[in-house]
Amino acid sequence: MGLELRNIHKHFGPVRANDGISITVETGTLHGLLGENGAGKSTLMKVLSGFHSADSGEIVLDGKKIKLASPDDAIEAGIGMLHQDPLVFLPFSVIDNFVLGSPGGWRLDRRQATAEMQELCDRYGFSFDPHTPSRLLTVGERQQLEIVRLLWLGARVLILDEPTTGISADQRAKLFAALKSLSKEGMSVIFVSHKLEEVADLCERVTVMKRGKVVGEADMPVPPERLVEMMFGQAVQIRDRKEVAHGKSRLTVDSVRMATGLLSEESTSLEVNAGEVIGLAGMEGSGQDTFLRICSGMRSLKQGSVTVAGKDLTGKHYRDFLAADVKYLPAGRLEEGLIEGLTITEHFVLSGEDRSFFIDWAQARNRAVEQVDHFAIKGTEASTVESLSGGNQQRLLLAMLPHELSVLLMEHPTRGLDIESADWVWEQLLARREDGTSIVFASADLDELLRYSDRILVFFSGRVIGELDASSTNVDEIGLLIGGRSANPELSEGSQ
């Protein structure tokens, strides 16, 4: 029987996010859903999971038409969705999150629920203490918690939206093993991704979307070139990185320790020259995000100093770093980088340098129209930022950067982006580099770190465990360091 989506339409104003989509997912299969950013994949899955209501079309599960007006309706019908950012309440414990949405209400037997959670964890190779605060879990562990919760609530169809973003290789292996087990047990799994190698490793069939429509389907395996051509209409040529001469020091971090103790007692130092690209690797929570916020003036220091272009900014505020042409782009585009509910034009007003009392709205709209066109943002100057796909939100953040930039700090600059969008983002960044901007970025994608970095700093337990020349290292060496080990013992002993 399985799941059928029949002629699904979903519009947001003039934007046709889903334009007559029909897909069949057989029971007990792993079904991949591919497409460039903005293709409509996430919208379709939100329709299927009850977060959005379709404007028209039908959803049929095991031969029965179902109406979904909310996520509660979806889970009652047996459909659960694991979002890219797991829906976990961080102040709650693991077991408190597990029982959320259960029909037992105040009469719930928590001891029995704990035992059932443990049984599910044992079955699928997951492990966490039910009484641990959820904020201490990694992204991968939060995913595992959400999966067992959905299974406990009765999900028979499991949707995963870009689930490998920001998780370790070990957690990815556990996730894939669990999904294969679920498929063998008769569950239908829809795997939304832009990573062709993951779809090839996992899925038995794939559907490709483009501009709100289905443009192709195939039984796996198929050559990756065929999938790329279906996604983009042609093969994508990744540009080679040009070498540039490095200039004078732009950023110096000397013997830094965090005031809150999030970095280890060992100090961390780094000097970055003009036109240099520094990649930061490490498991989530190893200190690289904290280090970036130190470099941007967003976190305070216990000791050490931060200097930008010869100017001592130790202890200064974020606005002082901005005045020194330092810019920070967070991983959470909507959470920290953009303001939900505001339009693209309104964001250009806020990011502009004009601080006069009156706003020239005509000028702001003209600038927004120009930048939407120049950065190929799929939207209009009147689009709200939450209506944009992740890739287009990232394009907007880049479009809002000031012309003069000394240091650019970024967390996961291409997280969740398709091949073409990621390549486009780095084309813009490397153009900045050629103009002398120093770039420091954190990424969970080791290939991205190797391709675009001059040097790679690997963080482990709050300290830099090794510094590598990107041109002479490899994925295996970085992976060992990320796990706290090294083929060269001297790299594991000191910090920068």
Query: Each residue of 373-423: pLDDT tens digit?
Result: 988 888 899 999 988 887 888 889 999 998 889 999 999 888 777 777 888
Higher pLDDT, 56 or 138: 56
Among candidates 398, 338, 378, 384, which has minimal Cα distance to 38? 378
Query: Each residue of 11-36: pLDDT tens digit?
Result: 887 778 899 999 999 999 999 998 87
149 pLDDT band, cuts 50/70/90, is very high
β 3-12/56-61 pair status: antiparallel
Q: DSSP string covering 448-480, please?
A: HHHHH-SEEEEEETTEEEEEEEGGG--HHHHHH
Q: Hey, what are 280's tokens?
A: 């930061």
Q: How far is CA 451 from CA 213, 322, 426, 438, 455, in A?
A: 33, 28, 10, 16, 11
At 23, the amino acid letter reads I
- Residue 154 in this model has a pLDDT that exceeds 80: yes
Among candidates 298, 321, 299, which has minimal Cα distance to 311? 321
437 pLDDT band, cuts 50/70/90, is very high
Residues 6 or more apart in contact with residue 139 via CB below 8 angstroms: 86, 165, 166, 167, 284
Query: Could you tell me what percent of the chain has a pLDDT over 90?
Result: 44
Distance CA 461, CA 472 (A): 25
Structural domains of the chain ordered from first start: 3-232 (3.40.50.300), 249-325+402-493 (3.40.50.300)
Mean pLDDT of 55-75: 93
Residue 486: predicted pLDDT: 55
Residues paired with residue 329 on neighbouring β-strands, in sequence order: 410
Q: How far is CA 378 from CA 262, 346, 352, 383, in A?
A: 39, 17, 21, 9
Higher pLDDT, 353 or 144: 144
Residue 474: predicted pLDDT: 84
252 pLDDT band, cuts 50/70/90, is very high
Among candidates 372, 468, 21, 24, which has minimal Cα distance to 219? 24
Mean pLDDT of 82-105: 81
Bond prior to 221 in cis (omega within 30° of 0): yes
Cα radius of gyration (the chain) = 24
Q: Which of 215-224, 298-307, 400-409, 475-484 has the lowest mean pLDDT?
A: 475-484
Residue 496: predicted pLDDT: 40
Mean pLDDT of the chain: 86
Higher pLDDT, 345 or 87: 345
Residues 6 or more apart in contact with residue 10 via CB below 8 angstroms: 16, 17, 18, 40, 43, 44, 47, 52, 54, 55
118 and 175 in contact (C-beta within 8 Å)? no
Q: Which of 142-146, 229-233, 368-372, 474-478 has the lowest mean pLDDT?
A: 229-233
Residues paired with residue 111 on neighbouring β-strands, in sequence order: none
166 pLDDT band, cuts 50/70/90, is low
Residue 118: predicted pLDDT: 93
487 pLDDT band, cuts 50/70/90, is very low
- Greatest Cα-to-Cα distance within the chain, rounded to the nearest angstrom: 69
- Residue 265 in this model has a pLDDT that exceeds 80: no
16 and 212 in contact (C-beta within 8 Å)? yes
Residues 6 or more apart in contact with residue 130 via CB below 8 angstroms: 93, 94, 95, 98, 114, 117, 118
Half-sphere exposure of 136 (CA within 13 A, CB side): 9
Q: DSSP string covering 122-143, please?
A: HHHT----TTSBGGGS-HHHHH
Q: Which of 22-31, 120-129, 458-467 has the lowest mean pLDDT?
A: 458-467
341 pLDDT band, cuts 50/70/90, is very high
- Residue 491 in this model has a pLDDT that exceeds 70: no
- Residue 448 in this model has a pLDDT that exceeds 60: yes
Q: Hey, what are 115's tokens?
A: 């035992």
Distance CA 42, CA 37 (A): 9
Residue 196: predicted pLDDT: 81
Residues paired with residue 409 on neighbouring β-strands, in sequence order: 328, 440
Residue 115: predicted pLDDT: 93
Phi, psi angle pair for 481, to nearest 5°: -65, -40
Half-sphere exposure of 7 (CA within 13 A, CB side): 3
Among candidates 129, 175, 167, which has minimal Cα distance to 30? 175
Q: DSSP string covering 19-78, please?
A: EEEEEEE-TT-EEEEEE-TTSSHHHHHHHHTTSS--SEEEEEETTEEE--SSHHHHHHHT
Residue 462: predicted pLDDT: 78
Residue 86: predicted pLDDT: 77
Q: Hey, what are 316's tokens?
A: 């200064």
Mean pLDDT of 35-58: 89
101 pLDDT band, cuts 50/70/90, is confident
339 pLDDT band, cuts 50/70/90, is very high
Residues 6 or more apart in contact with residue 303 via CB below 8 angstroms: 255, 256, 257, 267
Residue 457: predicted pLDDT: 93
Mean pLDDT of 297-310: 88
Residue 468: predicted pLDDT: 92
Residue 495: predicted pLDDT: 39
- Residue 178 in this model has a pLDDT that exceeds 90: yes
